[in-house]
Structure 1
Amino acid sequence: MKMCSVFGVSKSGYYDWLKRDESEQRMARKRLTEEIKNIYYKSKKRYGSIKITRELRKTGFSVSERHVQRIMTEEGMKSITAQKFKATTNSDHDKHIYPNLLEQNFKTSGPGVAWVSDITYIWTRQGWLYLASVMDLYSRKIIGFSMSSRMTKELVIQALERAVRHQPPKKGLIHHSDRGSQYASKEYTKILKDAEIQISMSGKGNCYDNACIESFHSVIKKELIFHKDYKTRKEAKSSIFDYILSFYNSWRIHSTLDYSTPNEFEKAYYLKNEAA
């Protein structure tokens, strides 16, 4: 071979070098595939190629999203998909409706500026289980939630009280929800007023006004609930509790948070302000 004579190496040496290079490439590919699988299964099959690529880069892998997608396809790894769900709360009531203060402005300057709340439902073999959640808009962190077999004002009050304990309200905090009778109840709005929290409600029939918390409920159904067959409400409660605290808040990265978790994003805010 001409190249061998040019560089002064033997043919056998050249082929040994090619084999060694191919072996190193195979080993690198194997390590990458193993790490992709590790992230994929740690996320319980919830992460697709974009989020897995972000996680790989955090650990030092220099890899493209297309390459990750190709490996996932070859290995049969596919992110679980969403299903649609309907609204739950009833806005056909005679209670006072508050104006929309949020007006679809979902970006805030820090934690404790705006909270959003909503209710969704989960089917079990014992019947329906209702989940009420409160999210801090800055970090997308679930700061309060409650579950019950009935969709009552007590359900949303308990979620709110837990949010207040977890993140004591700052002056000027906005609480946004839909127009459901639970959120418009005198008992619920009294708690908000007593804490000097501003009350904001969505426009009639406009799901986009409360998109962030509705998106969370869509995500938990897509990534957890639709893949379960809960025998009891107790089983569902335990599963959802673990998802929110052990996965969603602490491990699941968000594209809107620059691929950080809610806990990481919140912590970064406080560290930055402590240093200032």
Structure 2
Amino acid sequence: MAEIRRLHTSEFKKKAVLLSYERKNVAETAKELDVKPKLLSKWRTIYQKYKEGSFPGEGRKRVYYEDAKIYELEKKLAESQLRLEILKEGIKLKPFGKQAIYNFIHQNKKKYPIGTMCQVLGISTSMYNLRMQQPLSKREIKAALLKEAIATVFYEFKQYRGCVLIARELCRRGIQISEDQVTFFMKQLGLKRKVKKKYKVTTDSNHKLYISPNILNRQFTADKPSKVWVSDITYIQIEKRFLYLTVIIDLYDRKIVGWNLSSVLSTTATILPAWNMAVNNRDLRDGLLFHSDRGTQYANKLFTSTLKQYKCIQSMSGKGSSIDNAVSESFFNSLKRELIYSQKTLLTPKEMRAEIFEYIENWYNKKRRHTALKYKTIEEFNT
């Protein structure tokens, strides 16, 4: 009859070795513990070599005593890296609801442990198993798809769109949804539009130059291109200093027809380069009305003579009245909310120029939807 092999725990082996050192007699200690002297001697040899890492347990790696702490740290580091990898991939799906996370866990169950994914992503393992066993109803599938569409538009428009504009954008894309539904699902998803921030005015109107009357008189519409242009200047903070952005907007389609980014506030560095871009981008009409604030850049002889040369009529806002130039102010408000305030660190001049170009030329003039154009893009409005 074959001898039955006894199994000894790690703790028993360690205590047996320590007891043998204490008794100083391997044979007597082995007899007392009811183990073979040869086996106890083997345990002693192992302990002399590995110390605390001698008996890690079945299926675990035996390590040298000096490396035991390193081994444990490496193990914890590997676990942390795994959890971080799961979090990076799974966190992107948070705005789309729990069903999207359930799907992610199911799709990656061969890549990551299910329990770890559920723990990292804040999902109950039992609820995940239940969801996998019970398919979604048609109503739940529709709600999940609507949530995904809402979150897509919300982030596509840089988190500055509320329920009204999101509902209209989805309807334009062929998804029938009401404003109330968008509000309800946005609350469930925890989506909140970013709050507007105020910005300082850079206009210097304390001068003795000629001030044109306010001919525009807050009539912010035009029935033809190049009939009314409005302009303004704002500051943008960068590393260690400021840049100054000048824009010219055509009220017909709200397009930025001319713009310039400069490091100083002189006329030759602000409005003149923006004007030259504008006249190259659009044909001028005799009698074009050009409206701005009372800043020295617009009131000095260099620029006023340029307007006369092109047979333009100049108009200026009332003193201290930003509402008289509301379209330009609104653009700067959007620019700073959607671009400037979202920057986590101050950019270099080169980086800021690239960001402004991308925002104006590729976003604002092409893709952004404008309330004044009945929620059309500028390109859609002009077709």
The verdict on a shared fold, with TM-score over 0.5 as the criterion, is yes
Deviation of the 1:79 alpha carbon = 1.7
Cα deviation code 1:161-197 (max 9, x no counterpart): 1111111211221000001000112111122111111
Q: Distance in 2 between matches of 1:238 and 1:80?
A: 24
Task: Choose between structure 1 and 2 for higher RCO, CA contacts under 8 A separated by at least 6 residues.
Answer: 1
1:223-238 alignment runs, 5 A limit: 223-228=338-343, 229-238=345-354
For 2:159, the equivalent position in structure 1 comes to: 45
Q: Distance in 2 between matches of 1:52 and 1:115?
A: 30
Q: Distance in 1 between matches of 2:209 and 2:156?
A: 45
Contact map agreement 1:96 1:184 (CA 8 A) in 2: yes
Q: Distance in 1 between matches of 2:372 and 2:348?
A: 35
Deviation of the 1:259 alpha carbon = 0.7
Secondary structure, aligned partner of 1:224: helix
Is 1:121 the equivalent of 2:235?
yes
1:137-148 alignment runs, 5 A limit: 137-148=251-262
Contact map agreement 1:174 1:198 (CA 8 A) in 2: yes
Secondary structure, aligned partner of 1:150: coil
Question: TM-score scaled by structure 2?
Answer: 0.62
For 1:166, the equivalent position in structure 2 comes to: 281
For 1:153, the equivalent position in structure 2 comes to: 267
Look up the equivalent residue of 2:338 and give its one-letter code.
Answer: E
Q: Distance in 2 between matches of 1:126 and 1:261?
A: 36
Q: Distance in 2 between matches of 1:123 and 1:186?
A: 29
For 2:378, the equivalent position in structure 1 comes to: 262
Q: Distance in 2 between matches of 1:85 and 1:44?
A: 19
Is 1:132 the equivalent of 2:246?
yes
For 2:220, the equivalent position in structure 1 comes to: 106
Contact map agreement 1:100 1:202 (CA 8 A) in 2: yes
Q: Distance in 1 between matches of 2:255 and 2:355?
A: 18
Q: Distance in 1 between matches of 2:259 and 2:207?
A: 24
User: Percent identity among equivalent residues?
Assistant: 40
Runs of 4+ more than 6 Å apart: none
For 1:185, the equivalent position in structure 2 comes to: 300
Contact map agreement 1:80 1:223 (CA 8 A) in 2: no
Q: Distance in 2 between matches of 1:162 and 1:221?
A: 22
Cα deviation code 1:53-87 (max 9, x no counterpart): 11100111111111112212211222222111121
Residue ranges of structure 1 left out of the alignment (5+ in a row): 1-18, 269-276
Residue ranges of structure 2 left out of the alignment (5+ in a row): 1-133
Aligned residues: 248
Deviation of the 1:40 alpha carbon = 1.6
